[in-house]
Amino acid sequence: MPVTVTSRGGCAEDGVRGLLGALLTRSRPADLLALAAPPLVMLGALALPVETRRALAFQYTDPTVVTAFTAHYVHLTVDHLLANLIGYGLLAGVGYALALLGGRRRFFLTALATYLLAFPVVLSALNLAVPRHAVGYGFSGVNMALLGVLPLVMLPYARNQLSPAVSSRVLPAVFFLLVGWMGVLALPVGGDTLVGTVATAASLALGCWYLYAATRGSDRRWNPHGWVRVVSAREGYGDLFAVAGALLVAYPAVGFPVDPVTGTSVLNLYVHLLGFCLGFIGPHIALTVGLFD
């Protein structure tokens, strides 16, 4: 697709100052309090006795609505909590900044509230589809939902701050390519993973097809070099977009590590994939039907 390079001159420091100034001007104290609430809740939960935290975790053999919600805010180890807090800080912080400067503040905060209040119960309930004798806890499913909404706020940000020629038709391509990337990361080396391999290949193929469909034609040719110029020309603003793009590619490696087993704990890759897919599909439908202008 054609791109328009918008350069406003000045040094990189001026660009970063302009970005920070725009964020400070547009952000609201109530928004920052809402963003800070989940880490405070999780830190408060860590102060509870370990027996209480175990009681608040989700027992697959004895599920309750209360533990379906509380389990996502409970952690049994400091390392697990810190990993989720860092992930939340990056995903929510970058997502909020993109939404502010892309005109999607209300959309992002609505999605965030949905993830924090409704997704814990939904993800726990969907986990019951896979019978097991286990206990579930941790915030990573919600973090993966925040990863899912990231492309949806990157698009209007790119239109507003980088190039108005960006097409929303690339969103399905981004979704399927990311799902395929997660499949590549999740597939164990040398294992019998025929179904997983087929699903991953199909997702990557769909992603490539949607990308081709979104960029085909002389008026929609995608110029990678042009996009590099666009991002590099907007100091500060281009950097924020690049950071978001790096998160999209790198964070799945956290949710789908090579070895999901840590001691006696096993990362729930199923809920990670569910969180990402639901986090993208629901808000994307809301945008498509026009619930947010």
The mean per-residue pLDDT over the stretch 136-148 comes to: 95
Distance of CA 237 to the CA centre of its chain: 20
pLDDT at position 226, please?
A: 62
pLDDT at position 7, please?
A: 42
CA dihedral defined by 84, 58, 112, 145, rounded to 10 degrees? 70
pLDDT band at 72 (very low <50, low <70, confident <90, very high): very high
Q: What is the pLDDT of residues 235-275, one digit of tens each?
A: 788 889 999 999 999 999 999 987 777 767 788 888 999 99
- The two three-digit tokens of residue 281, written as one number: 């599909």
pLDDT surpassing 70 at residue 228: no
pLDDT surpassing 60 at residue 218: no
pLDDT band at 1 (very low <50, low <70, confident <90, very high): very low
pLDDT surpassing 50 at residue 122: yes
pLDDT surpassing 70 at residue 12: no
pLDDT surpassing 80 at residue 164: no
pLDDT at position 211, please?
A: 85
Give me the amino acid identity at 125: A
pLDDT at position 232, please?
A: 66
Question: How is residue 259 annotated by DSSP?
Answer: -
Q: What is the pLDDT of residues 186-204, one digit of tens each?
A: 887 545 577 788 889 999 9
State how far the Cα of 93 lies from the Cα of 85, in Å rounded to an integer: 11
Residue pair 146/255 in contact by the 8 Å Cβ criterion: no
Lowest mean pLDDT segment, chosen from 88-92, 112-116, 219-223: 219-223
Q: Could you write out the DSSP letters of every residue in 36-71?
A: HHHHHHHHHHHTS-HHHHHHHSEETTS--HHHHHHG
Query: Which tops the pLDDT comparison, 14 or 152?
Result: 152
Residue 136 bridge partners (DSSP): 58
State how far the Cα of 127 lies from the Cα of 129, in Å rounded to an integer: 5
Supply the mean pLDDT for the chain.
86
